[in-house]
Amino acid sequence: MSSTPTAEQKPSSSDQATTERTEDINNAVIRLAGNSQKGIQTIGGLLAKLAGRSAQEVMTYMTIPSTISGGASIFQVRIGSGEVLTPGDEADFLVAFYQDSYENHINNLREGGVCLYDNDHVEPDLTDKRFIFVGVPMTSTTIEAIGGSARDRGKNIFVLGLITNLFDLQRDKLVHIIETQFKNKHESVLRNAMLAFDAGYAYQLGDIFNRSYEFEPGKAQSDGRITTDGNTALTYGLLAAGVRYGAGYPITPWSSIMEQLRSELPKYGGIFVQSEDELAAVSTAIGFAYSGHLAITGSSGPGLSLKMEAMGYASMAELPLIVINVQRGGPSTGLPTSVEQSDLMQAIYGSHGDTPRVVIAPKDVEDCYYIAIEAGRIAREFSTPVVVLTDQALSSRIEAFPEPDVSGVISPELDLEPRGEDFKPYPFDAETKHAPPGTRMTGNKYPVVTGLEHDEWGHPTSSPEIHQKMTDRRREKHKRMAASLPLPEIHGEKEGEILLIGWGSTWGPIREAVNVARESGHAVSAIHLRHIHPMPDGIDGIMDAFKRVLVIEMNDEGMYGYGQLATLLRARYADDKIKSLTKCDGLNFQIRQIIAGIENSSD
């Protein structure tokens, strides 16, 4: 939490107890720790929505236990008046519902931070002078407020009321959001929620903690912003891209995309098939693509492995196909609810044979929407499979961003224009544009799409010359695509000591690390690759202006000491100054880890 002016963090003495002090702050990290994933997610989500509506920047972070239901989880919300790039290394406030929530998370609280705990359940070590402890009987006050057989349900909403008062948040707006959220539930649900909320809002922390906080006015536009998570943004991006057909199989954390598509697509006249397995899902999607549609399939780690043979087919047959991979911790079943970026090599090279395809990655929640549109553009224009590598952290975290402009959204049309005698599905001198079934072939020669090596007309052949020429053709069209890409923007100066390179969801932490490092006098800049494979030409030109290059990614350094993107960059540019900063703990990069990596890379 950055506050202006710096406030005395000790609880005030008793003579000040009646007068509440208000501190202006521009940034706060609140970590909610409890045993009910759903309950905690609810308040976290409501806070994020409120921030999104109140000209504040917001980013959330949540851990999900990989259990069937319930289990210890946290939800961290960072709300700020300026740019918010990460959910925060440390919390300014910890709300501990249970003893284990307190024990497991107290060390994530920064020194001088506030621990709000439920003194019906938690006995903190009050001799720990690093923190300010504020006990509130959350359970009993909630039960008292709701009455009846409510037990302790609703204490999350009680805490939301408490936080609303403490941070002087816009109560009316929040009440409206709560009402909207519960409008489809039984009326008693909303009534109980409001009783709990009001009890929390009215709760007097009194002489324990007579202080409240007020956010400085945010710089973000409050009008026209939407607040949502990455998987939802990606889903609507696909719809905006003109995707009307898809198929998938449930797997965490991809499932919420397919769930939403299954409900949404029929409204657009489309179909989403829940398949019997991953192989069927990608095959059905290829059936849609062959039929003349822009189609998608998707999965997470293990599911991507299963799709590989058919994805290779799509490369060979040159069919447009979007494959979403919401990366999670691997290998094998790995860490289904943790974040990692270890599927890059598989996304690029995962099929047998030389199967060039496109791999792109979104940098934040907003970009999940636009990356889907970019995937659609490339798939259509170059008739090729495009893999979108998002990840678990992006899938569930909530951010606020400007409402996308939908005026350019067009509805897809099936191209069944008759094709003449000269039609070639795989011409050496032009891009592939298939004739889908239903297309009249005026020369009465109908095309067969195939995974066998083939000539320009699609006829199977094992001619050595043609296999070489077709291999060249499939490669070169991707190089043409790469040549049309813009160079990544440089964050920071165009030259300096060290250039950081990242991809995917490390964008925020890397950017914030650059800001922090530059403030303390380091000549650090960063670029971020949205198009990873093929990558745009000219990255060597950017690297030339820096003494060192550090590639930051959440995967293992492997046998030879370099992460997956670092390996690719070294292979392409054979430049020994390219070094690697990797980690594999299932968590996002913290700013201080990147700063430490910058400092250690100098030797």
Instruction: Please give the Cα distance from 484 to 83 (Å, whole number).
Output: 31
Instruction: Please give the Cα distance from 90 to 110 (Å, whole number).
Output: 6
Q: Minimal distance in Å, beta carbon 474 to another protein?
A: 17
Q: Does residue 309 bind another protein (CB under 8 A)?
A: yes
Q: Which of 184, 407, 462, 520 binds another protein (CB under 8 A)?
A: 407
Spell out, one character per residue from 420 to 459, where the chain touches another protein: x when CB under 8 A holds, - when not: ---------------xxxxxxxx-xxxxxxxxx------x
Residue at token pair 């109980």? 192
Q: Does residue 418 bind another protein (CB under 8 A)?
A: yes
Q: Does residue 179 bind another protein (CB under 8 A)?
A: no
Closer Cβ to another protein, 194 or 243, answer by number? 243
Spell out, one character per residue from 139 to 158, where the chain touches another protein: x when CB under 8 A holds, - when not: --------------------
Q: Does residue 68 bind another protein (CB under 8 A)?
A: no
Closer Cβ to another protein, 152 or 374, answer by number? 374
Q: Does residue 239 bind another protein (CB under 8 A)?
A: yes
Of 316-335, binders to another protein (CB under 8 A) are: 317
Q: Does residue 353 bind another protein (CB under 8 A)?
A: no
- Please give the backbone phi and psi of residue 124, each rounded to the nearest 5 degrees, phi first: -75, 165
Closer Cβ to another protein, 174 or 501, answer by number? 174
Specify whether the backbone of 522 is left (phi greater than 0), alpha (psi in -120 to 50) or beta: beta
Closer Cβ to another protein, 93 or 423, answer by number? 423
SS3 state of residue 314: helix
Of 464-503, binders to another protein (CB under 8 A) are: none
**Residue type, position 197, single letter:** F
Structural contact between residues 43 and 160, judged by C-beta atoms closer than 8 angstroms: yes
Q: Which of 285, 468, 448, 460 is nearest to 379 (CA)?
A: 285
Size of the site for another protein (CB under 8 A): 74
Structural contact between residues 177 and 196, judged by C-beta atoms closer than 8 angstroms: no
Of 517-576, binders to another protein (CB under 8 A) are: none
Q: Which of 58, 143, 160, 280 binds another protein (CB under 8 A)?
A: 280
Closer Cβ to another protein, 449 or 527, answer by number? 449
Q: Does residue 99 bind another protein (CB under 8 A)?
A: no
435's tokens: 């004739």
Only one of the segments 122-130, 148-156, 275-283, 576-584 lies at the binding site for another protein (rule: CB under 8 A); that segment is 275-283
Spell out, one character per residue from 199 to 238, where the chain touches another protein: x when CB under 8 A holds, - when not: -------------------------xxxxx---x---x--
Closer Cβ to another protein, 167 or 313, answer by number? 313
Burial of 319 (0-12, 13-18, 19+ CB in 10 A): buried
SS3 state of residue 270: coil
Rounded alpha-carbon distances, angstroms, from residue 532 to 388, 566, 579:
10, 11, 17
Structural contact between residues 115 and 134, judged by C-beta atoms closer than 8 angstroms: yes
Contacts of 122 by beta carbon, 8 Å cutoff, 6+ apart:
96, 97, 98, 99, 101, 102, 135
